[in-house]
Chain A
Amino acid sequence: MRIEFVLNGKEVGVDTDPAKRLLDVLRNDFGCTGVKEGCGEGECGACAVLVEGRLVNSCILPVIAARGLEVITIEGFRETERYRVIEEAFDEAGAVQCGFCTPGFVLAAEALLRRNPVPDEEQVREGLSGNLCRCTGYGALVRGVLDAADRGRGLW
């Protein structure tokens, strides 16, 4: 079946099984390998992408559900000014260790800051709670998002 959607600002189409996970289509058909499979059951957020601006775990979304919608992966988001602010803030906070969860956390931060450009610590913790990180204990990630909100004032 032909499925068309907007991927990182470009209209794309793919002939595939409509039940296939969006994760597999993004990785295998479009080479978006920044989207990671950590658990395959919607628990860890390593595969998180933005669908119509909302944070979605692409491992539990059949590709048909993305038909006609706008999908943004880390490959698209990293071209933005907001990304550069988050990247810098994450780096300075020490939020990156093994890195496997990091693109998912970047997109979780983006989704949170779109909804709430000036979150407090509790709101950041809530906003990141759908993503798992085994390295940092989350302290640095939380500081990174708070700092990104601060230095990116006006961007969100």
Chain B
Amino acid sequence: MHKPISRPVARVDAREKTGGTARYLDDLRFEGMLHAGTLRSDRPHARIKNIRVPDLPEGYHIIDARDVPGMNRVKILVDDQPFFAEHEVRYVGEPILLLAGEDRGAVFDLLSGVKGEYEDLEPVFFEGKGEGLDNFAEYVIKKGNPEQAFREAADIFEGTWETGLQEQAYMEPQGVIGVCDRDRVTVYGSMQCPYYIHKALVQGFGWEEGRVRVVQTVTGGAFGGKEEYPSLIAGHAAFAAFKTGRPVKIVFDRHEDMVCTTKRHSAIIRIKSAMNRDRVTGMEIDITLDGGAYAGLSSVVLQRAMFASTGVYRVDNVLVRGRAVRTNTVPAGAFRGFGGPQAIFAVEMHMHSLAERAGVSPLNFKKRHVLGTGDKTVTGGSAHEELRLGEMADLVASMSGYKEKLKRFEKKRNGNGGKRGIGLSLFMHGCAFTGSGERDIIKAEVRLAKRSDGSVEILVSSVEMGQGAFTALKKIVAETLEIPLDRVVYVNPDTDRVPDSGPTVASRTVMIVGRLLMRAAEEMKKRTDAGPFEIVRTYEQPPAIRWDQDTFKGDAYPVYSWGANVVEVEVDPVTYEIAVRGCWGVYDVGTPIDERILKGQIDGGVAQGLGYATVENMRIEAGRLLQSNMTDYVIPTSLEYPPVESVLMDTEYEYGPFGAKCAGELPIVGAPPALGAAVQNALGVRVTKLPVTPEYLLEAAGNED
């Protein structure tokens, strides 16, 4: 522990952010810039009969589907979502047209006079448990012989867990500016994936790649919410700039942002276990995700949920079925954890309930089932590393006083006053893209440039969005070259200058892009010429990885990061409000590239996970969000949670830079089931839903009586 690379350094972007000089998208102005507002569907499903636009003053413009020069489809895995609706709208909030002009206030005043006339069509919603709906994706994973396991089971236990929507709630709302300069278009924006947007614009314009440029601006948080969504509004701003010949800015206010941007998929997960002598011998798992109106990334989110569906446990006989369904609600999309939080919540609550049922401590029951070194995962793959899950579980238990508290709270259960409970979760996150995705789909390229003044510039498409990429990647290069950190340059990516090193997602930046930069720096170090010159490196898959994307067999991820959490709660016996009294974590993320940055990822991820599990309640009724601003949709404040006590395991990954694995998403995955188990422990009622609201507990407690 405390390798030189792990020692915290001053964050390279702290000064400009603290002093308010960092320029976020809305802080940028261009000569002659127009502002655009969006007319959105107020129907969940309807045919557009007519759009009535009042006479506009000079200098005010309408931009709609007819102004898309190329294909009116936002490029992602499946091209089903239009930039602007043409004849039909499929969710409340779907964009139909833009109104652009010089004065922002006037734009929105005029927009309120634009009226859509619709013929309503039958909408479909998720309330019916997802049965009978169209699927965006449907998969099956089979391991061993689950039929036999269930035939021979001495006991069978089954439960269903549901998780709700979650809003990313990045503090900086979505924003883009399109600029058209004769035959080229440039989009500036708050984003995670400059090349996703680049590809979307190339398709939307039907232009050659060289005519499109994307520049990331200082990004005020993203959490997945700026993965695929910005491609849509980048198109809007670019088409508007192309039509009007003026720069066009689109910045959402918080309400608009919440209404029309992607959320975490709500899920229904059923798990059935075959048991023999208090051991799980087989599992049948059924996962349904609400994908919303367009396909987006739902198929990949579903895959990650399925690959995480047996959690950190060795189950020899498994059948997993999964589907992502189409509904007439705002599209669901990427959010930190990407299907993992839903699946891990379900399997952890299932295992916790099995332990309770067997009258065994959840700690012991879970330890009895954890994957050991060399054991096969749900896809029959291997973790390719020494596994120490039992040790991690024991460590977090001793840090939190888990065993003693479990006994003490049990004795006090029937007393008056707040009900105390304690819950433990074990979890993992597969690092980077699925299987061979890094090799076959992403094909990351990085460049490292030596300048004639001796400085070194990192040229990658990975963005700084708050997670610390600037500091971490600079550290990797500086440490490898043995030069001071301030001799390394790394600015917000501009697709005119940087290669496609992949999107800033899937906790892949340090492990994949960082590793390539380290290799480039090693090569640079060997060169004796003064420069300028550039080193180019492209991704090479670690040799042991085997994956079949058609059958989902093999190593679902290059490697995993692991975690163990304990959460202690006190539940008010009258109001059922939950107070978190303690939170502990043990994490194995390989070598931390900066312990302070990592602590920030842990603290922030745990808070998001606890928020998801308790106060972050977002519901849809008849296709309309009931919570669409920060007054109604509550995220945690400084008063909610005590500090997270966390420790890092001393491990090293052979194919990560300095031994680093992935860290960004892992912390959000473990907190919800630890909270859920703690509440279940406190009240003695089964927690089967996220978020665990007082209303839900009141009802659940009533049902048990």
Q: Give A contacts to B, CB under 8 Å.
A: 32-41, 43-44, 46, 73-75, 78, 83, 86-87, 90-92, 94, 96-103, 106, 124-126, 128-129, 131-142
Contact = CB atoms under 8 A, between A and B. Distances in A.
Contacts of B603: 136-140
Instruction: Identify the 10 closest CB pairs spanning chains A and B, nearest first.
Output: A34-B20, A99-B17, A98-B466, A100-B220, A137-B607, A137-B603, A74-B20, A97-B466, A33-B27, A100-B171
Given A132-B171, A135-B466, A135-B600, A38 B254 contact: yes
> Which of A44, A129, A135, A136 has the largest number of chain B CB atoms within 10 A?
A135
Interface stretch (B8-16, B54-62, B568-576): B8-16
Contacts of B170: 98, 100, 134
A124 B120 CA distance: 52
Contacts of B596: 94
9 contacts: A33-B27, A36-B171, A38-B254, A78-B20, A91-B15, A99-B16, A102-B20, A134-B171, A135-B221
Interface in B597-648: 597, 599-600, 603-608, 629-631, 635-639, 641, 643-644
B24 A36 contact: yes
Contacts, number: 171
A155 to B, nearest CB: 17
B635 A134 contact: yes
A128 B638 CA distance: 6
Contact-residue size bin, chain B (C-beta under 8 Å from the other chain): 35 or more
A138 B22 CA distance: 21
A136 B635 CA distance: 13
B20 A98 contact: no
Nearest to A121: B643
Nearest to B634: A43
Where chain B touches its partner, the secondary structure class is loop
Contacts of B597: 94
Given A35-B20, A138-B607, A97 B600 contact: yes
B600 A99 contact: no
A92 to B, nearest CB: 8
Contact of B638 (A35, A43, A98, A129): A129
Given A37-B253, A91-B14, 11 more contacts: A33-B24, A36-B171, A90-B14, A96-B11, A99-B16, A100-B24, A102-B20, A128-B637, A132-B635, A134-B169, A134-B635
B467 interface: yes
Interface of B: 8, 10-11, 13-24, 26-27, 168-173, 218-223, 253-255, 465-468, 596-597, 599-600, 603-608, 629-631, 635-639, 641, 643-644
A131 B636 CA distance: 10
A92 B629 CA distance: 33
A92 B255 CA distance: 34
Nearest to A142: B638
A41 B639 CA distance: 20
Contacts of B466: 97-99, 135
A103 B637 CA distance: 17
Contacts of A102: 17-18, 20
A124 B599 CA distance: 20
A106 B18 contact: yes
A78 B19 contact: yes
A129 B637 contact: yes
A83 B15 CA distance: 11
